């Protein structure tokens, strides 16, 4: 994928990441950054999913490493508007190429987590 960033109207910093499929540049994916803790949690709205939220966690993290504040903000802002988007084993933000001198609106991480994913992780940990 190819990526570009831009600002929303009335913003002074980049807060939108636009990804294009390399093989089909007409396929566009817009993500608006809502929150980042700067350590490993990013909350975005995915325009191509009808504005549903995605919570991205640092690769390899589990829900135990997720900042409770980030999880609270996600649950508060995105209740009922979430979408599981991809399996990290088949798709990764680390393969995205950006234009030279691009400052991303948030650190690029590569594992999304939705309430369903988080619930599944908790169930796995509780199994004997």
Spatial distance between the Cα atoms of 23 and 69, rounded to a whole number of angstroms: 38
Residues spanned by the domain of 85: 2-126
Q: What are phi and psi of 55, to 5 degrees?
A: -110, 120
Tens of pLDDT, residue by residue, the chain (128 residues): 577 888 888 878 888 888 887 788 788 888 888 888 888 788 888 888 788 888 887 777 766 777 888 888 888 888 766 555 444 554 454 444 445 444 445 444 434 444 555 566 566 666 66
Query: What domain count does the chain have?
Result: 1
pTM of the predicted model as reported, rounded to 2 decimal places: 0.61
d(CA 35, CA 67): 12
Please give the Cα distance from 16 to 31 (Å, whole number): 6
Closest CA to 4 of 27, 24, 30: 30
């Amino acid at each position: 994928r190819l990526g570009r960033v831009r600002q929303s109207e009335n913003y002074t910093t980049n807060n939108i990441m636009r990804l294009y499929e390399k093989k089909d540049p007409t396929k566009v994916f817009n993500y608006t950054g809502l929150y980042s803790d700067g350590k490993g949690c990013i909350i975005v709205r995915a325009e191509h999913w009808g504005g549903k939220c995605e919570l991205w966690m640092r690769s390899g993290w589990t829900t135990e490493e997720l900042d409770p504040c980030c999880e609270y903000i996600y649950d508060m802002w995105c209740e009922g508007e979430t979408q599981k988007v991809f399996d990290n084993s088949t798709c990764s933000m680390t393969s995205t190429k950006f234009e030279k001198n691009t400052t991303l609106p948030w650190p690029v991480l590569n594992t999304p987590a939705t309430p369903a994913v988080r619930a599944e992780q908790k169930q796995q940990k509780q199994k004997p």
